[in-house]
Structure 1
Amino acid sequence: MKLSKFTGVMLGAALSAVAVAAQAGTPPALYTTAQANAGAPVYTQNCAMCHGADLKGVAGPALIGPSFPAAGSAATIGSVFTVLAQQMPAGQPGSLSHDQYADLMAYILSKNGYPAGSTALDYTASLSSKTPLVSQVK
């Protein structure tokens, strides 16, 4: 298939824009707004006492900002979600539903500058996700 010069230029520009976004560290849309909204009360009820109402940490570590995840940790959505789903909340690990854990992760991602999209964050897929997790909040 032969592309017209215009189509080739437009395709090249689009690919360049994607490459620039990737280099700039633009985070992917991994959850829906509805999930993040549903995750807010789950966070308040199950996490805020240790991680703070503002996610900046109290007895537990911060879940927002440049120290989340820890610098040099090479954290992924999967590694953080696995800890969340298998070890939290403290004292009652694994006590939330799969939907609550996915909503909670969506809420945390939203507070860390990840944009909402049209596809819901999936519990099972999130456990094995290799997508890097880097807070966009400074």
Structure 2
Amino acid sequence: MKIQQLSIFVENREGRLAQITEVLAAAQIDIRAISVADTSDFGILRLIVNDPGQAVKALKAAGMTVSLTDVIGIGINDRPGEFSKAMRILADHHITVEYMYAFISRDKGKAFVIIRVDNDEKAMEALRDAGVVLLSAEEIHGM
């Protein structure tokens, strides 16, 4: 159950995030989760959206550099220790986490984490076998 994430190259200049989000808004794209990693000159904006294919088309048409990356999403109970359990599963299976970001769902008591790992299939199998809820793209897009 992989989820497609948009990665957008962003120059560190005034109004750039406004331009990107305006392109998405005009294309009726709804942002589900967002993360920005930056340096002094540029950043990478990572987004989970309701329609990745349409978002890529709109952004490329606007002259932006964008790519799709497979990530996995997990749903965990919003309680101390739940996230730690998921991370322990990945560590015990020698899976490296490259980056992650989290968001809270509309469902009370649930948190979702988007994770980029070095081995999607192995990570999904290990998490699923341990009872961690994997999220489908449809679930994320429908939130």
TM-score (norm 2): 0.28
Structure that is richer in helix per residue: 1
**TM-score between both structures, scaled by the size of structure 1:** 0.28
Higher strand share: 2
Of structures 1 and 2, the larger Rg is shown by 1
User: Which protein has greater RCO, CA pairs closer than 8 Å, 6+ apart?
Assistant: 1
